[in-house]
Amino acid sequence: MKISICGKGGAGKSVIVALLANEFRARGYRVLVVDSDESNSGLYRILGFDHPPIPLMELVGGKKGLRDKMAVKFSSGESEPKMEVLSLDKILVKDIPPQHIGESDGISLVNIGKILHSLEGCACPMGVLSREFLAKLHLDQDEVAIVDMEAGVEHFGRGVETSIDRVLVVVEPSFESLELALKVKQLAAGAGVNGTWAILNKITSEKIAIRLKDELGKRGIEVIGIVHHNPKIFEACLEGHRLDERIASKEASAIVDTVLSKI
Ligand SMILES: Nc1ncnc2c1ncn2[C@@H]1O[C@H](COP(=O)(O)OP(=O)(O)OP(=O)(O)O)[C@@H](O)[C@H]1O
Ligand SMILES: [Mg+2]
């Protein structure tokens, strides 16, 4: 099962990725977190890793190497780069070279690539690599991949979702976040994803939750879980610490129950 977590910048995507990873792991799943956000680099910390794994981008010659391949493809008349950047047709988690996959307390982590320098060019190669890696990634029944997407919707333009089973959109209490959820739902449907569900985050009262559910309902989006505003989450994010598996575990458990019951 491949699940992507998307939403507006700062809505809480990485926090939700960590909460769900903890919960799936607690249920005996082998969890692979895919860090597909080329800007932010702190996901490894809230997952409890000391350092991030070497980006998969390095496996394909770095951004330059991948961009060169894309340029060759474009110049040969292709409308979009569909070249093979990863040599295997099917990638099993155990095939990923050890320096490119971290493991901490039953959760594995891969990192697609990060923007590191000014003027290094756009992040399109990261999108291409994310798309191809996820499409080739083969998971067993007891494995789940949770993808931390970059903020916004550009990843849909790059086709990253084409092999994703479910898109979960994180919605915080703001109009922008609601509007982005609608956009995500439409784009996910266009990418052939069967269902987009919302997770409400940073919720401070039942009243707010009801309002957001109502607004999302008007946009045709079902809410499958709520994570309240939680001082422990805030503190862990402020300090750059691991999100302990006890934090918001009941809320994460309810979300995973719903996801599993619907898939
Ligand atoms: N449930 C919560 N309770 C309290 N604070 C939260 C909660 N969820 C997120 N936050 C706060 O929101 C901040 C942003 O969360 P997070 O980094 O998960 O968002 P994001 O959507 O991944 O952001 P980006 O778009 O930058 O990747 C955190 O640093 C934390 O301060
Ligand atoms: Mg994030």
Alpha helices in 84-162 (DSSP H): 124-136, 154-157
Alpha helices in the chain (DSSP H): 13-26, 43-46, 62-75, 124-136, 154-157, 175-190, 206-218, 231-239, 249-262
> Ligand 1 within 6 A of 43 CB?
no
Amino acid type, 110: V
Pairing of strands 166-171, 143-149: unpaired
CA angle 124, 179, 129 (to 5 degrees): 15
Q: Looking at per-residue confidence, does 81 or 112 come out higher? A: 112
Comparing 76-80, 205-209, 239-243, the range with the smallest average pLDDT is: 76-80
> Ligand 1 within 6 A of 15 CB?
yes
Closest CA to 131 of 159, 99, 111, 93: 159
Rounded to 5 degrees, φ, ψ at 137 are: -65, 120
Q: What pLDDT is attached to residue 189?
A: 87
Q: Number of helices and strands (H, E) in the chain? A: 9, 10
> Ligand 1 within 6 A of 155 CB?
no
Substitution candidate for ligand 1 out of 8, 15, 170 with most atoms within 8 A of CB: 15
Task: Please list, in sequence order, all residues whose beta carbon lies within 8 angstroms of the beta carbon of residue 63, skipping any fewer than 6 positions away.
Answer: 57, 113, 120, 121, 125, 126
pLDDT digits (tens, 9 = 90+) for 111-135: 998 666 665 566 677 788 888 899 9
> Ligand 1 within 6 A of 36 CB?
no
> Ligand 1 within 6 A of 185 CB?
no
Q: What pLDDT is attached to residue 9?
A: 94
> Rounded to whole angstroms, how far apart are CA atoms 6 and 14?
9
For ligand 1, atom 15: residue with the closest CA: 12
Mean predicted confidence (pLDDT) in 238-259: 96
DSSP state of 255: H
Amino acid type, 173: P
Distance 59 CA to ligand 2 centre (A): 23
> Ligand 1 within 6 A of 12 CB?
yes
Distance of alpha carbon 133 from its chain centroid, rounded? 13
Paired strand residues for 144? 31
For ligand 1, atom 5: residue with the closest CA: 234
Task: Using the predicted structure, report yes or no on whether residue 150 has a pLDDT greater than 80.
Answer: yes
What share of the chain has pLDDT > 90, as a percent? 62
Q: What pLDDT is attached to residue 120?
A: 57
Distance 55 CA to ligand 1 centre (A): 23
For ligand 1, atom 23: residue with the closest CA: 10
Comparing 32-41, 67-76, 130-139, the range with the smallest average pLDDT is: 67-76
Task: Using the predicted structure, report yes or no on whether residue 81 has a pLDDT greater than 50.
Answer: no
Substitution candidate for ligand 1 out of 5, 14, 38, 155 with most atoms within 8 A of CB: 14
For ligand 1, atom 31: residue with the closest CA: 234
Task: Using the predicted structure, report yes or no on whether residue 62 has a pLDDT greater than 90.
Answer: no
Task: Please list, in sequence order, all residues whose beta carbon lies within 8 angstroms of the beta carbon of residue 245, skipping any fewer than 6 positions away.
Answer: 22, 23, 25, 26
> Rounded to whole angstroms, how far apart are CA atoms 263 and 261?
6
> Rounded to whole angstroms, how far apart are CA atoms 30 and 263?
17
Closest ligand to residue 35's CA: 2
Question: Quick one: pLDDT band at residue 159, thresholds 50, 70, 90?
Answer: confident
Mean predicted confidence (pLDDT) in 200-214: 98
**Residue in the structure block whose two tokens are 């799943």:** 29
pTM: 0.91
Q: What pLDDT is attached to residue 70?
A: 62
Q: What pLDDT is attached to residue 237?
A: 95
Question: Quick one: pLDDT band at residue 155, thresholds 50, 70, 90?
Answer: confident
